[in-house]
Amino acid sequence: MAKSRWFRVTSLLALAAVMAINPTTAAEESAQPNKDLVELARESGEFNMFLRLLAETDHLDKLKEEGTFTVFAPTDEAFDHLDMNLIDSLLHPSQKHYRNRLIGHHILNQIVRSDDPVGEGEQEVETLAGTRVKYIAEHNRFFLETAAIEKNDLEATNGVLHGIDRILVPRF
């Protein structure tokens, strides 16, 4: 009996020592992202057309790699406002350069979250396409140019994903 009690006490002390060294809780560990940006977008089910276009660009593999990216992905609803003929033409092999620029215009090579200290106002950021876009904070709402950020701060292992309500078209 004394041996059993001694074993329980030493086991509890060992557990306490481990917890002191690594104090993360199970809830904190489960809150850690475990999917890359592409997997996260696919899992959400709201970015299918963006993913379809992304798959036909040079950016797909990049968003599966380690990194610090921000993706402003138009939702499927944003694509509903486009003519299907336009979408079909975007997917044509001869339009790869345009697709790369269009999709790259929605990706940053840095992380931007809604709680970043932009304050009220705007900040210009550079995209993977080499274009510049304005990130705007206004009355606790966030915009990228004229697109409202509807789903924000979806965390991935290699960055953050924001869902936006329209497609941003870069200048050519």
> For residues 20 and 146, what is the distance between their CA atoms, to the nearest angstrom?
48
Percentage of the residues of the chain whose pLDDT score is greater than 90: 56
| Average pLDDT of span 22-27 | 44
Domain of 118: which CATH number?
A: 2.30.180.10
| Average pLDDT of span 52-64 | 95
What pLDDT band is residue 31 in, cutting at 50, 70 and 90?
A: low
pLDDT at 118: 56
| Average pLDDT of span 32-56 | 95
Do 23 and 49 belong together in one domain? no
pLDDT at 59: 95
pLDDT at 136: 86
Do 70 and 27 belong together in one domain? no
Tell whether the model's pLDDT for residue 113 goes beyond 80. Answer: yes
Containing domain of residue 13, as a range? 1-32
